[in-house]
A and B are shown apart, each in its own frame.
Chain A
């Protein structure tokens, strides 16, 4: 069966520090991978989307970046965090034909920038 791992679960970082959040998927090949951010009491904002290794689509201009060094690994990074980067970050995967199949989410990373 397929599983998705996302870590860390919680993170407190000072403003200006770097960020690296990692997400890995097991049990499937060539998944679509997604990074979403959820502000408190809000919906999900799509940040990045990937259909394959090295293929990243950015949805929102910001100081975050994403990379997909391996088929089932998706990394969210920042060189210098801002206060506004605080939020709940969710990684998800779907089969290739994304809109015809459900998203499977990790348990998220709660990031607090102080």
Chain B
């Protein structure tokens, strides 16, 4: 089934640095979404980028989408301790379903 795969699986960076996570998918999509999950909690929607968009910003978040390479990236600038979480990309599958990747675990070091 169509699914996004995040890379890397885990990432540790110093507070204040930028964090970049990547997502690749297999088949054509209508849009791609990024979510954050704090430990033991539900997922929180961060940003949705449509297939005809190349870049989107929301606060310290920047998402890019390259449909020719079937890939997306999530950039978090000036990272903070509160950004420590798992980040998932999600793509639309058949019949309105949304399919998630396995996520990137981001750890911001003080």
A13 interfacial by beta-carbon distance below 8 Å? no
B13 interfacial by beta-carbon distance below 8 Å? no
Which one of B42, B95, B99 lies within 8 Å of A106 (CB-CB)? B42
Please, how many residues of chain B have a CB less than 8 angstroms from a CB on the other chain? 24
Query: Is the pair A102, B33 in contact by a Cβ cutoff of 8 Å?
Result: yes
Cβ proximity bits B40-61 to A, threshold 8 Å, 1 near / 0 not: 1111110010000000000000
Residues of B within 8 A of A44 (CB): 43, 88, 100
Alpha-carbon distance between A105 and B43 when the two chains are bound, in angstroms: 6
Chain B nearest Cβ from A100, distance in angstroms? 7
Chain B nearest Cβ from A36, distance in angstroms? 8
Which one of B30, B35, B100 lies within 8 Å of A99 (CB-CB)? B30
Residues of B within 8 A of A43 (CB): 88, 100-103
Which one of B30, B42, B88, B96 lies within 8 Å of A107 (CB-CB)? B42
B69 interfacial by beta-carbon distance below 8 Å? no
Query: Is the pair B41, A103 in contact by a Cβ cutoff of 8 Å?
Result: no
Alpha-carbon distance between A90 and B100 when the two chains are bound, in angstroms: 13
Interface of B toward A, CB cutoff 8 Å: 30-31, 33, 35, 40-45, 48, 88, 90, 92-93, 95-103
